[in-house]
């Protein structure tokens, strides 16, 4: 991730070296001015060093500006790449990853934790480089100026290091607690906002407030502890500095009284010390900052360590291009979700021929949605294979596979964009005419025209502007535009009332015409039209046949059908 940035880093360090050189020279000029101009009261001795000092100050300022701006540019670019890298990675992770991590916590990792690293990268790059070079230069100048005073100063330097060491373990644990608490607070806020209707309808405001308070208190404690540690560290460092300054003045006074040193030399040395301490202090502080940032880095690494469940086949291993006819074969497929013991699918086998419609039904938890995830290749099966026109799904590049197998998911997925963009995402670059045709096929054109800005009306998943049925018809239009040979419909009528559900039957029929369709549903109204019905129980096929054959069989299907009818009739 640092590709292309390293040579800029060298430029930053170069600026730092030059800046430190300029400042060291200025301090030496100060000593010179004190002894020759100030003590002798000679204006003649003033002009030349003063002019040199001013020139050094201007050059030093220009170098400081260049180095400072450049180092921020380098480190911010690094952080931007880091953010993109983590985000790209997150987008490839399997669905169960998101079910097992709270969304708010992921959000906090992608924002807050990246920021913690950003602080370290910015301060790290500027801080370490400039502090290190400055410390070395000023130390060298100090020895050159007054070796005995310098020796006394450096004899006390390990005190800074000891103080930093003492604090670093505490800082790390507090930083980790703070980051975790931050993730928890974001999660609670995010979950509460998502559940606002439930909260208000059932008067759960107090319970939600308590939930937030628990997390906010943890965050508050971590913040206060962190501030306390930093304060204590800062104050201890000041005391150590005072000890050093007093030691230098003591030795200086003694040397002046012995006639071994001038006042100018002592003042120049004291000025040098005031330049030397900040870099030493910031080096120690940097240690604390890095320690705190590692807590954020660990949380990001946890995300980066999560592996995508599937990957693209090797280059060159792709099957021939060309639109498949749409034969779907599920061959002895078994699957369990990573990290669980439950077998979601157990030796499943069936074939769907091009253009056939197969309904997959069964009790809750039977493995129906899991099958749809395998068909879209969100996961690969543990054993067995899924094939499209005889080619295993994992031989297709993922992007191409998802062009051939279109999903109409259970939840209506909406982009925060216009109606047009929401349909067009079925086939990026589709013409307005094609988008309107798809909307007509999905019976969506008329209601879209009735919206305030027609096709340019913005939709939002949380806004009440579109009903569930209308959103579903938008999703159908998107699938029509995608024009995939294979369709996977996961509970297309879930959440819709009887009228809205009936309203999408015709658009669905039009969408399914001529395509291989696997419809996962509890709603068996469409079953008489299907070429076949497959009943899944505990991840296995227990019944298969046409609707009327299965009804006559009087088994699970007949039971499901009757209970559905009774529910619909309100019995």
3-state secondary structure (DSSP) of residue 338: coil
Report yes or no: 377 and 310 within 8 Å, Cβ to Cβ: yes
Give whichever of 183 and 362 is closer to ligand ATP, judged by the CB atom.
Answer: 362
Give whichever of 368 and 547 is closer to ligand ATP, judged by the CB atom.
Answer: 368
Give whichever of 46 and 97 is closer to ligand ATP, judged by the CB atom.
Answer: 97
* Binding-site string for ligand ATP from residue 254 to residue 293, where x marks contact by CB under 6 A and - marks none: ----------------------------------------
Which residues touch 5 (CB under 8 Å, ≥6 apart)?
74, 77, 78
- Ramachandran area for residue 198 (φ above 0: left; ψ -120 to 50: alpha; else beta): alpha
In whole angstroms, the minimum distance from the beta carbon of 362 to ligand ATP comes to: 6
Give whichever of 30 and 337 is closer to ligand ATP, judged by the CB atom.
Answer: 337
In whole angstroms, the minimum distance from the beta carbon of 569 to ligand ATP comes to: 21
Give whichever of 275 and 378 is closer to ligand ATP, judged by the CB atom.
Answer: 378
In whole angstroms, the minimum distance from the beta carbon of 99 to ligand ATP comes to: 5
Report yes or no: 216 and 185 within 8 Å, Cβ to Cβ: yes
Measured distance CA(87)–CA(300) in Å, rounded = 10
Give whichever of 164 and 359 is closer to ligand ATP, judged by the CB atom.
Answer: 359
Q: Does 342 bind ligand ATP (CB under 6 A)?
A: yes
* Binding-site string for ligand ATP from residue 318 to residue 337, where x marks contact by CB under 6 A and - marks none: -------------------x
In whole angstroms, the minimum distance from the beta carbon of 436 to ligand ATP comes to: 34
* Binding-site string for ligand ATP from residue 55 to residue 94, where x marks contact by CB under 6 A and - marks none: ----------------------------------------
In whole angstroms, the minimum distance from the beta carbon of 542 to ligand ATP comes to: 13
In this chain, which of 240, 293, 344, 439 binds ligand ATP, going by CB under 6 A? Answer: 344
Residue 392's H or E segment, with its range, is strand 391-392
Give whichever of 99 and 315 is closer to ligand ATP, judged by the CB atom.
Answer: 99
Give whichever of 466 and 475 is closer to ligand ATP, judged by the CB atom.
Answer: 475
Measured from the Cβ of residue 301, the count of other Cβ atoms closer than 10 Å reads 12
State the virtual CA torsion across 449, 452, 457, 463 in degrees, nearest 10: -110
Question: How far is the CA of 173 from the CAs of 184, 225, 292, 299, in angstroms?
Answer: 17, 10, 8, 13
In whole angstroms, the minimum distance from the beta carbon of 384 to ligand ATP comes to: 16
Query: Of 420, 523, 517, 525, whose CA–CA distance to 477 is shortest?
Result: 420
Which residues touch 249 (CB under 8 Å, ≥6 apart)?
266, 270
In whole angstroms, the minimum distance from the beta carbon of 517 to ligand ATP comes to: 17
Question: How far is the CA of 551 from the CAs of 517, 535, 555, 561, in angstroms?
Answer: 22, 12, 8, 8
In this chain, which of 44, 91, 99, 322 binds ligand ATP, going by CB under 6 A? Answer: 99
* Binding-site string for ligand ATP from residue 286 to residue 325, where x marks contact by CB under 6 A and - marks none: ----------------------------------------
In whole angstroms, the minimum distance from the beta carbon of 455 to ligand ATP comes to: 33
Residues 354-383 binding ligand ATP (CB under 6 A) are 362, 364-370
Give whichever of 321 and 364 is closer to ligand ATP, judged by the CB atom.
Answer: 364
Give whichever of 277 and 335 is closer to ligand ATP, judged by the CB atom.
Answer: 335
In whole angstroms, the minimum distance from the beta carbon of 523 to ligand ATP comes to: 11
Measured distance CA(354)–CA(486) in Å, rounded = 8
Which residues touch 535 (CB under 8 Å, ≥6 apart)?
361, 362, 541, 542, 543, 544, 550, 555, 556, 557, 560
Number of residues that bind ligand ATP (CB under 6 A): 14
Report yes or no: 175 and 295 within 8 Å, Cβ to Cβ: yes
Rg (CA), the chain: 35
Measured distance CA(337)–CA(378) in Å, rounded = 11
In whole angstroms, the minimum distance from the beta carbon of 412 to ligand ATP comes to: 16
Give whichever of 180 and 309 is closer to ligand ATP, judged by the CB atom.
Answer: 309
Measured distance CA(70)–CA(12) in Å, rounded = 6
Measured distance CA(383)–CA(335) in Å, rounded = 7
Helices of type H across 354-504: 368-375, 398-404, 419-424, 432-441, 445-449, 468-482, 498-503
In whole angstroms, the minimum distance from the beta carbon of 341 to ligand ATP comes to: 10
Alpha carbons within 13 A on the beta-carbon side of 543: 22
Residues 534-553 binding ligand ATP (CB under 6 A) are none
In whole angstroms, the minimum distance from the beta carbon of 312 to ligand ATP comes to: 23
In this structure, what are the phi and psi dihedrals at residue 322, rounded to the nearest 5 degrees?
120, 140
In this chain, which of 44, 340, 428, 446 binds ligand ATP, going by CB under 6 A? Answer: 340
In this chain, which of 81, 83, 92, 96 binds ligand ATP, going by CB under 6 A? Answer: 96
User: What token pair was written down for 187?
Assistant: 């999660």
In whole angstroms, the minimum distance from the beta carbon of 411 to ligand ATP comes to: 11
User: What is the binding site for ligand ATP (CB under 6 A)?
Assistant: 96, 99, 337, 340, 342, 344, 362, 364-370
């Amino acid at each position: 991730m640092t590709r292309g940035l390293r040579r800029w880093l060298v430029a930053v360090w170069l600026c730092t070296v030059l800046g430190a050189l300029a400042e060291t020279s200025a301090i030496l000029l100060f000593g010179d001015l004190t002894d020759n101009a100030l003590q002798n009261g000679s204006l003649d001795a003033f002009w030349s060093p003063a002019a040199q000092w001013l020139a050094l100050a201007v050059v030093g300022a220009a170098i400081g500006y260049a180095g400072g701006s450049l180092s921020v540019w380098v480190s911010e670019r690094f952080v931007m790449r880091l953010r993109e890298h983590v985000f790209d990675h997150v987008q490839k992770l399997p669905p169960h990853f998101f079910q097992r991590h709270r969304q708010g916590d992921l959000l906090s990792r992608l924002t807050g934790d990246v920021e913690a690293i950003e602080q370290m990268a910015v301060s790290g790059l500027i801080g370490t480089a400039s502090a290190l070079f400055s410390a070395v230069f000023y130390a060298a100048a100090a020895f050159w100026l007054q070796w005995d005073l310098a020796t006394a100063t450096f004899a006390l330097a390990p005190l800074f290091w000891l103080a930093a060491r003492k604090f670093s373990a505490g800082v790390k644990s507090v930083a980790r607690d703070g980051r975790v608490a931050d993730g928890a607070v974001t999660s609670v806020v995010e979950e509460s906002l998502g559940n606002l209707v439930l909260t208000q309808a059932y008067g759960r405001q107090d319970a939600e407030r308590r939930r937030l308070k628990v997390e906010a208190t943890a965050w508050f404690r971590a913040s206060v502890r962190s501030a306390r540690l930093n304060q204590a560290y800062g104050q201890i460092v000041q005391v150590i500095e005072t000890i050093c300054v007093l030691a230098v003045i003591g030795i200086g006074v003694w040397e002046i009284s012995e006639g071994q040193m001038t006042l100018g030399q002592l003042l120049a040395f004291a000025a040098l010390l005031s330049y030397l301490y900040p870099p030493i202090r910031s080096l120690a502080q940097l240690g604390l900052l890095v320690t705190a940032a590692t807590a954020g880095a660990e949380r990001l690494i946890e995300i980066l360590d999560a592996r995508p469940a599937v990957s693209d086949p090797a280059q060159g291993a792709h099957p021939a291009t060309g639109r498949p006819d749409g034969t779907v074969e599920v061959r002895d497929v078994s699957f369990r979700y990573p990290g669980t013991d439950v077998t979601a699918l157990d030796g499943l086998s069936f074939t769907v021929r091009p253009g056939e419609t197969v309904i997959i039904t069964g009790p809750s938890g039977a493995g129906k949605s899991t099958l749809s995830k395998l068909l879209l290749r969100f996961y690969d099966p543990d054993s067995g294979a899924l094939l499209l026109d005889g080619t295993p799904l994992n031989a297709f590049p993922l992007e191409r596979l998802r062009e051939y197998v279109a999903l109409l998911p259970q939840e209506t997925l909406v982009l925060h964009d216009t109606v047009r963009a929401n349909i067009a995402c079925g086939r990026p670059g589709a013409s307005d005419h094609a988008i309107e045709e798809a909307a007509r096929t999905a019976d969506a054109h008329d209601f879209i025209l009735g919206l305030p800005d027609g096709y340019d009306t913005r939709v939002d998943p949380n806004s009440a502007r579109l009903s569930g049925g209308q959103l579903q018809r938008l999703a159908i239009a998107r699938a029509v535009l995608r024009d995939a040979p294979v369709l996977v419909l996961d509970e297309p009528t879930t959440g819709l009332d009887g009228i809205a559900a009936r309203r999408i039957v015709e658009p669905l029929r039009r969408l399914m015409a001529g395509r291989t369709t696997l419809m996962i549903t509890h709603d068996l109204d469409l079953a008489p039209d299907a070429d076949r019905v497959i009943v899944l129980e505990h991840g296995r096929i227990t019944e298969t046949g046409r609707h009327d054959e299965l009804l006559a069989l009087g088994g699970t299907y007949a039971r499901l059908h009757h209970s559905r009818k009774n529910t619909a009739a309100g019995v």
